[in-house]
Amino acid sequence: MKKLYSNKPVILSLVLPGLLVFLFAVLAPICLSVYYGFTDYSGMGEARLIGFDNYANLFHDSAFGRSLKNSLLLAIGFICIQHPLAILVAAVLDKLQGRAEGIFRCIYFIPNVISVAVIAYLWKFIYNPDFGLLNNIAKAFGHPGKINWLSQQNAIWSVLIVLIWHGFGWGMLIYYTGIKNIDPVLYEAASIDGANWWTTFMRITLPMMKPVIQINVTMAIISALKQMETVYLLTNGGPNNSTQFVANYLYQQAFKAFKYGYGNAIGVVFIIICVLATVTLNTIFKDKQEA
Amino acid sequence: MREDNRKIGKVILWIVLIAVAVIQLFPLIWLVDFSLGSSNEMFTNGLLIIPEKIRWDNYVKAFVDGNFLHYLRNSVLINTLAVVLVVIISIMAAFACQRMKWKMSALVSTLLVMGMMIPIHATLLPNYKIYNMLHLTDTLWALLIPYVAFSMPQGMFLMTGFIQSLPKELEEAAVMDGCGIYRIVFQIVTPLLKPSIATVAIMTFLNNWNEFMMASTYLSTPTWKTLPFSVLEFTGEYSSNYAVQFAVMALTAAPAVIVYIILNKHITKGVAMGAVKG
């Protein structure tokens, strides 16, 4: 057994496909990004090494700062609006029994299986100033309904609404599974003690859900950092970079502004930020779990 | 008194659930509703319209001019291939790292899982360059390679966890019977991993089915473009005919929604397992 399980050629043959994919599609592009990040390459012609100039420029780039701020805003939106709602709805849904429970769960998740391409264009129409759904709803409440939802002031909030709406079902489903995994004996004990729904929720559901909440919060922050698709189609970072996100910005810099080198420098910083954020969040939550 | 409270509680519970359902679903109902009317009918103050005549021809236009069948075929093909490759590659690598005895097993395992932290979009620029150099742009590989690469870390992570929980006795018995490693991996271990294979397959599908950023960067001809392009390319062509645009959006969303409703229980379970463990 031992001999069989330490056969080097066999091990190599099992690991090689995975390693090759990783080297070719993840590691190689990162190395290439690091190289181009040190150049002034425009996308055509010669690439000239310019040292840390790109990184120095990045420090003073207000659009990049705006991108990070927007990610932070989105993360706050997820954690303060989407997640509390998702936990509450999950807890309420858990109380419901029978067919209705499955139907509601199914409905809440539907937006998640729809392509971002459809979602983004659909919301563009919903925000449309002439015949959009939102202005029509405003009119139904007696408002003149001439709001420009994607103006420089409003756009970032409109983008946040779409993202919070779209991801709601995902968060809800994970909290719902977490609640289903709580030992029912705890709820029986609470009900014998005469605890009402709210007390049970605050004293049993929430504390028992701590690990699930931590995972979900981590994922929310990471996905807020990585946001690109919806913004790319809905506003493309505009007007005036007010809805810019890092991934979208590096793409624009490379392919629209022809600063391929600069785009790659942003990419390198972006990767570092994402890795640091993941590691930091995992460490914080691990320490807390042990304490 | 208590009985009354309970009734009020029930009513509030239903109101909350229905309100959330309306918020999640109404935009989609609005989409389908307007897709059946004419573009002129959209300029209304009402929330929904009752089309004078139901215009199925919007959908015919969407189906034909949106290249629906061609893009759907590409999506199904590419995603199926990606799922199969991710499952096989991650089972093999997870088994080698988890069960077999070699010095670098922990290092390789960590390396492969670490891919989860790398933001996909940061690799768009360099990968474009690489695929261009190797003449891979506009081929199937330009999508398949990154789709596999970015779903593999999660697959690897999940498979490692599941293989760890399998009892070793089965493999020991197989070795006694003279099984080689490949037979152990594919004929003994793989069948036991069915639930986790389903989870990995569902997560891979959900990750890649709707992907379009890589596709629109690495592809320029329609040969391998996927379903989201029905929408992306259509809006330019029919920029003033809103109703047809609505139809193409509804049509593009339909396959995933229909499959989700049919497989709802399995998908829910898969996502829950994948997300909580991942």
Helix B194-209 / helix A99-113 crossing angle, nearest 10 deg: 50
Q: What is the mean pLDDT of residues A10-35?
A: 92
Report which of residues B123 and B179 the model is more confident about: B123
The percent of residues above 70 in pLDDT, for chain B, comes to 97
Test B125 with A1 for CB contact under 8 angstroms: no
Per the domain annotation, does A27 fall within a domain? no
Residue A263: domain span: 63-290
Rounded Cα distance, A172 and A186, in Å = 22
| Residue of chain A whose alpha carbon sits nearest to that of B92 | A14
Per the domain annotation, does A39 fall within a domain? no
Residues of A in contact with B16 (CB under 8 A): 88-89, 92
Report which of residues B225 and A132 the model is more confident about: B225
Of A33, A133, A212, the CB nearest to B126: A33
Residues of A in contact with B264 (CB under 8 A): 102, 106
Q: Say what the pLDDT of residue B277 is.
A: 59
Q: Say what the pLDDT of residue A125 is.
A: 87
Report which of residues B131 and A198 the model is more confident about: B131
Per the domain annotation, does A23 fall within a domain? no
Test B117 with A278 for CB contact under 8 angstroms: yes
Q: Is ipTM beyond 0.95?
A: no
Test A14 with B93 for CB contact under 8 angstroms: yes
Q: What is the mean pLDDT of residues B237-266?
A: 86
Per the domain annotation, does A128 fall within a domain? yes
Coil vs helix vs strand at A49: strand
Per the domain annotation, does A133 fall within a domain? yes
Contacts of A162 (CB under 8 A, 6+ apart): A119, A120, A123, A230, A234
Say which amino acid occupies B170: L
Q: Say what the pLDDT of residue B270 is.
A: 83
Coil vs helix vs strand at A39: strand
Per the domain annotation, does A273 fall within a domain? yes
- List the single range of A25-29, B158-162, B248-252, B263-267 with lowest mean pLDDT: B263-267
Per the domain annotation, does A70 fall within a domain? yes
User: Of B14, B101, B114, B125, which to mutate for an interface test with A (greatest number of A Cβ within 10 Å)?
Assistant: B125
Q: List the alpha helices (DSSP H) in chain A.
A: 2-5, 8-22, 28-37, 53-60, 62-77, 83-95, 99-113, 116-126, 133-140, 155-180, 184-192, 197-200, 206-208, 210-226, 229-234, 246-255, 260-290
Say which amino acid occupies A76: I
Domains of chain B (ranges, CATH numbers): 2-59 (no CATH), 67-237 (1.10.3720.10)
**A121 touches A232 (CB < 8 A):** no
Q: What is the mean pLDDT of residues A69-82?
A: 94
Test B125 with A96 for CB contact under 8 angstroms: no
pLDDT in tens, B212-223: 999 999 998 888
Give the CATH number for residue A213.
1.10.3720.10
| DSSP calls for A241-254 | TTT--HHHHHHHHH
Rounded Cα distance, A272 and A289, in Å = 26
Residues of B in contact with A137 (CB under 8 A): 47
pLDDT in tens, B222-236: 889 999 988 888 877
Site of tokens 């998908």: B267
- List the single range of A2-6, A79-83, A230-234 with lowest mean pLDDT: A2-6
A residues 46-65 lying closer than 8 A (beta carbon) to B? none
Q: Does A284 touch chain B (CB under 8 A)?
A: no
A residues 165-194 lying closer than 8 A (beta carbon) to B? 165, 168-170, 173-174, 176-178
Using the predicted structure, report yes or no on whether residue B49 has a pLDDT greater than 90: no
Rounded Cα distance, B25 and B228, in Å = 20
Give the residue from B151, B2, B101 showing the smallest Cα distance to A191.
B2
- The number of folded domains in chain A is 1
Test A137 with B47 for CB contact under 8 angstroms: yes
Tell me what percent of chain B is helix, strand and coil, each rounded to the nearest 5: 80, 0, 20
User: Of A7, A110, A285, which to mutate for an interface test with B (greatest number of B Cβ within 10 Å)?
Assistant: A110
pLDDT in tens, B97-147: 988 888 888 898 888 888 888 899 999 999 999 999 999 999 999 999 999
Using the predicted structure, report yes or no on whether residue A62 has a pLDDT greater than 70: yes
Q: Say what the pLDDT of residue B242 is.
A: 83
For chain A, give the longest Cα–Cα distance: 80
Of A5, A32, A118, the CB nearest to B101: A5
Per the domain annotation, does A38 fall within a domain? no
Q: Among positive and negative, which fits the CA dihedral A69, A64, B216, B249?
A: positive
pLDDT in tens, A157-171: 999 999 999 999 999
User: Of B22, B113, B118, which to mutate for an interface test with A (greatest number of A Cβ within 10 Å)?
Assistant: B118
- List the single range of A13-27, A90-104, B48-62 with lowest mean pLDDT: B48-62
